[in-house]
Each structure stands twice: as structure tokens, then as C-alpha cells.
């Protein structure tokens, strides 16, 4: 217990010192840093020029990685953080990279400190801390999945809107603007951002490629490739987009049928994976001495480890059976 108390004290001391230095740096940077002087000069120029545009009507969209230059330097030192930042963009949340790191680190510290205070071994406390620290990542992946699902459901209607705008005589950038203004999010948000990039001078090809990077959708990739090929070789883009939207609708219908037919298999897999743990918990409540043999006896530990390995193998096996790509 003394060893755990020493580790806990050192961990809390490290967190306190880090927070103190980071707070002092942020205070200095927000009050006397070069960014404050640059913004003040920019505001004076806008005021002198008589610009009457509000912040809401500005087309400039600059996404900072965080409000702290410390995290920006961490991104340069650890390239894997760029993938996390892309996950933040794709999830559609308002989190910045600093929010993600703070949430993950806080949950990790809460998990490991709580387990140490409960007198659990350090290895088990570290495992629980890692599990708690991964909860923000799981949440972001879930948000990205739901956002991508909504995007793909609205994409055929967006392609039809772009096709009608092209047939009415609008340019491609004008059609993207109409789609961004009339379609609900996340389709409207993403197409509006693509139009903003084109309006700021980025080429149409690069703006569409950025759109496909932000939204990892196969259906959107068909749209981007079709537009880029049409700009090189010519052709009736509105007809091409109409055909693509029809294909996407049929694909979504087929995907729904596949999910309905594989629902029984997915439910069976969930039941077979969770049932051993529920049964073990109920048996532990009924007879603790009987169940304690699994982790106190050598033979019980062997059976327990072997059972966990087979449960994991069976879960991945059943997942590969019922997961049908369309």
C-alpha cells in the first residue's frame, strides 16, 4: 500500500506541475503573445477599412489543431496525432485535439488512481486506466460511423440536386454552393466547405480531393472520380451524376436487405459472446468459493485463459461471417 501511495503522490505531483506550467504559458500567450498583437493589428485594419461584415457572414474557415501551441508542437513531433485529428474532423464533433488529449488523460488518471486507492495491483490499475482512457476514442469512432451513415443516406439526393443545377445552367461551383445551402448536415456542411475552398482560390480538383479525404465514403469517391474524369475528357456530367445516384440508391437498398438477413446471425454472435461472462457472474453471486477456483487454482487459471482465447477467436469468427460488404 505504501508503494501505491508513493506512486499516486508522484503522479499527482507531475500532473499539478504540468498544469501549472501550461496555465502560466497559456496566460502569457493569450495576453502578451505575438498572436494577440497580430489580431489587434488586423482588427484595426478592418475598422479603418470600414468592413461591415459580421463574423457569421465570413467565409473564412480556419480550423486550429488546438488553442495551445504546445499541442501544435506535439503534432509535429508525433505524426500519429495527425490521424487522431482527422478522426476528430470526420466525427463532426466540436472537439479539438487538446480536448481529446485532456479527456483521454483525465479518464486514464481517474481509472488508475481509483484502482490504486481501492488497493488493487498496479498492473490491473494500469489496464483499467488504459480502458478508461480509450473511451473518448470509442466515442469519436461511433460519431464518425453515425455521421458517415447519415452522409451516405443523403448523398443521392445531393447528387440529384447538383445534376439539376447543372442542367439549369449553373457552374459546378455554383451547384456545390446550392447543395451546401439547401442540404442538411453533414452533406451541406461538407459541400459548403468544398465551395469555400474553391472560392478562396483552391483548384476544383484539390477541393474535391480534400472532400473525399474528410469523408471516407466509397460512394462519394465515385462522385469525385466522375467529376475529375469529366473535366479532363468532357461529357454530360448531369447524366453521369444521375446514374451514380441511382446506383447508390440501389446499393443502399441491397445493404438494408443484407443487414435484415444477417440480423439473426449478429444477435446470435452477441449472445454467445456475452453469455459466458453473465453466467460466470451469476455463479459467482451464488457460490463464490466454487467460482474462485478459476483464479486461485492452477488448473482453473488454465481453463480461464483457454476459455478467454476461444471466446475472442469465436467473436472475430462470427463477426467475419455476418459482416458482408456491399
Is 33 part of a structural domain of the chain? Answer: no
**Which is more confident, 227 or 33?**
227
pLDDT bin (cut points 50, 70, 90) of residue 42 is very low
**pLDDT on residue 58:** 37
Total domains, the chain = 3
Is 51 part of a structural domain of the chain? Answer: no
The model's pLDDT over 231-273, given as tens digits with 9 standing for 90+, comes to 888 778 888 888 888 888 888 888 888 888 888 888 888 888 8
Q: Is the pLDDT of residue 44 over 70?
A: no
**Which is more confident, 59 or 265?**
265
d(CA 227, CA 244): 11
**Mean per-residue pLDDT of the chain:** 77
**pLDDT on residue 183:** 87
Task: Provide the 8-state DSSP code for 33.
Answer: S
Give yes or no: residues 121 and 1 share one domain.
yes
The model's pLDDT over 77-123, given as tens digits with 9 standing for 90+, comes to 565 667 777 788 888 887 877 788 888 888 888 888 888 888 777 77
Give yes or no: residues 183 and 107 share one domain.
no
Q: What is the mean predicted confidence (pLDDT) over 17-41? A: 63
Q: Is the pLDDT of residue 306 over 80?
A: yes
Give yes or no: residues 175 and 209 share one domain.
yes
Q: Is the pLDDT of residue 176 over 60?
A: yes
Whole-number Cα distances in Å, 268 to 68, 248, 254: 48, 30, 22
**pLDDT on residue 48:** 38
**Which is more confident, 60 or 227?**
227
**pLDDT on residue 78:** 61
Q: Which domain holds residue 115?
A: 1-16+64-133
Sign of CA dihedral 272, 273, 277, 278: negative
185: left (phi over 0), alpha (psi -120 to 50) or beta: beta
Report the share of the chain in percent with pLDDT over 90.
1
Final residue before a domain boundary, out of 111, 133, 155: 133
Q: What is the mean predicted confidence (pLDDT) over 53-59? A: 37
**pLDDT on residue 320:** 82
Q: Is the pLDDT of residue 291 over 50?
A: yes
Give yes or no: residues 70 and 105 share one domain.
yes
Is 186 part of a structural domain of the chain? Answer: yes
Give yes or no: residues 166 and 287 share one domain.
no
Q: What is the mean predicted confidence (pLDDT) over 281-287? A: 84
Q: Are 67 and 101 in contact (CB under 8 A)?
A: no
Q: If DSSP codes are grouped into helix, strand and coil, which group holds residue 52?
A: coil
Task: Provide the 8-state DSSP code for 324.
Answer: -
Q: Is the pLDDT of residue 67 over 80?
A: no
**Which is more confident, 30 or 223?**
223
Amino acid at each position: 500500500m505504501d508503494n501505491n501511495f508513493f506512486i499516486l503522490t508522484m503522479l499527482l505531483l507531475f500532473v499539478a506541475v504540468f498544469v501549472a506550467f501550461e496555465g502560466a504559458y497559456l496566460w502569457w500567450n493569450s495576453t502578451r503573445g505575438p498572436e494577440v498583437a497580430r489580431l489587434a493589428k488586423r482588427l484595426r485594419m478592418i475598422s479603418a477599412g470600414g468592413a461591415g461584415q459580421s463574423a457569421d457572414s465570413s467565409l473564412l474557415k480556419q480550423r486550429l489543431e488546438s488553442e495551445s501551441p504546445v499541442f501544435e508542437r506535439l503534432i509535429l513531433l508525433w505524426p500519429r496525432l495527425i490521424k487522431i485529428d482527422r478522426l476528430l474532423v470526420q466525427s463532426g464533433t466540436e472537439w479539438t485535439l487538446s480536448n481529446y488529449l485532456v479527456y483521454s488523460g483525465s479518464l486514464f488518471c481517474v481509472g488508475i488512481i481509483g484502482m490504486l486507492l481501492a488497493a488493487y495491483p498496479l498492473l490491473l490499475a494500469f489496464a483499467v486506466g488504459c480502458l478508461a482512457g480509450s473511451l473518448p476514442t470509442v466515442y469519436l469512432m461511433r460519431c464518425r460511423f453515425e455521421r458517415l451513415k447519415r452522409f451516405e443516406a443523403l448523398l443521392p439526393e445531393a447528387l440529384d440536386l447538383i445534376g439539376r443545377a447543372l442542367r439549369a445552367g449553373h457552374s459546378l461551383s455554383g451547384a456545390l454552393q446550392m447543395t451546401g445551402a439547401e442540404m442538411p448536415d453533414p452533406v451541406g456542411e461538407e459541400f459548403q466547405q468544398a465551395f469555400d475552398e474553391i472560392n478562396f482560390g483552391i483548384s476544383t480538383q484539390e477541393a474535391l480531393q480534400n472532400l473525399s479525404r474528410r469523408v471516407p465514403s466509397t460512394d462519394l469517391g465515385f462522385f469525385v472520380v466522375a467529376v475529375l474524369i469529366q473535366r479532363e475528357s468532357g461529357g454530360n456530367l448531369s447524366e453521369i451524376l444521375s446514374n451514380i445516384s441511382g446506383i447508390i440508391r440501389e446499393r443502399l437498398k441491397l445493404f438494408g436487405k443484407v443487414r435484415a438477413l444477417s440480423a439473426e446471425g449478429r444477435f446470435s454472435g452477441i449472445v454467445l459472446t456475452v453469455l459466458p461472462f453473465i453466467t460466470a457472474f451469476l455463479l459467482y453471486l451464488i457460490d463464490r468459493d466454487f467460482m474462485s477456483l478459476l483464479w486461485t487454482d492452477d488448473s482453473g487459471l488454465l481453463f480461464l485463459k483457454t476459455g478467454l482465447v476461444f471466446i475472442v477467436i469465436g467473436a472475430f469468427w462470427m463477426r467475419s461471417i455476418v459482416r458482408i460488404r456491399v
